Amino acid sequence: MERAHDSDPLDAFELPAEFLRRLPQRDEEALVRFFDVYLPKIYGYVRRLVRDEHLAEDLTQDIFVHLHRAFPTYDPTRDLRPWVFTIASNKVRDFWRSRRHKESQKESSVERDGAVDSLSAGAQRPHTAMATRELDANVRQAIEDLPEGLRMTVVLRIYEGLSFEAIGKILDRNEVAIRKRYSRALEALREALAGPFELHVDGNP
């Protein structure tokens, strides 16, 4: 698993200042540029947080409708990426609190239990191409089985490469709390993957 960086990578997300200034006016060209850059990334983020592909598509659509409505309140002097991910994270948390989510959790509990039981065996297999794919699937499953707060933290850190400070702003927690939450998430992943899959991030095991 790739090492996350303390400084947020902006190359794939940074829009020129002229586009940022035009976003609050919902300028068509600026919006097209924004959607081209952010749509695939936000969908990928949401997909790692919810289990169902169609649900991830629905939530992503809701997020971008919300973003479109919220652009007049966006301050172009602020970093765009944390602002976008805050809105996306809040939408996912709203879903997690919904009755629809609670009902779907009950329906899928047996499937999740079976997947967790298979994690150790998958991690022990030789590093063939098939075994690597299975290990990747096991890692994704282990992340999906994390408690929701830990899951969001580890996805923002490992997959999105955000700093602890940025994650704290997105999740409305201080940096110390985010670091503790992240450490708990890594420990839970180690236990789920039965030891041989080592996670070393920021020099800490």
**Sign of torsion, CA 57 63 69 71?**
negative
What is the rounded distance in angstroms from the CA atom of residue 202 to the CA atom of residue 19? Answer: 34
Q: Which helix (DSSP H) or strand (DSSP E) does residue 158 occupy?
A: none
Quote the tokens at residue 31. 């919006």
Record the pTM. 0.73
- Of 155, 174, 163, residue with least CA distance to 42: 155
Q: According to the model, what pLDDT value does residue 101 have?
A: 52
Residue 75 pLDDT exceeds 90: yes
DSSP letter for each residue of 45-88: HHHHHSS-HHHHHHHHHHHHHHHHHHGGG--TTS-HHHHHHHHH
Q: How far apart are CA 155 and CA 2, in angstroms?
A: 12
Whole-angstrom distance, CA of residue 162 vs CA of residue 8: 5
Beta-strand (E) ranges in the chain? none
Are 156 and 167 in contact by the 8 Å Cβ rule? The answer is: yes
Q: Considering the chain, what percentage of its residues have pLDDT values greater than 90?
A: 52
- Distance, in Å, from the CA atom of 141 to the CA atom of 121, rounded to the nearest integer, reads 14
Report the alpha-carbon distance of residue 78 to residue 80 in Å, rounded: 6
Does 80 score more than 60 pLDDT?
Answer: yes
Tokens of 24: 């609050």
State the CB neighbour count (10 A cutoff) for residue 194: 14
Q: What is the mean pLDDT of the chain?
A: 79
What domains does the chain contain, in order, with CATH numbers? 9-97 (1.10.1740.10), 109-205 (1.20.140.160)
Q: Which of the residue ranges 94-103, 138-147, 159-168, 170-179 would you say has the lowest mean pLDDT?
A: 94-103
| Window from 46-50, 98-102, 134-138, 180-184 with minimum mean pLDDT | 98-102
Secondary structure letter of residue 26 according to DSSP: T
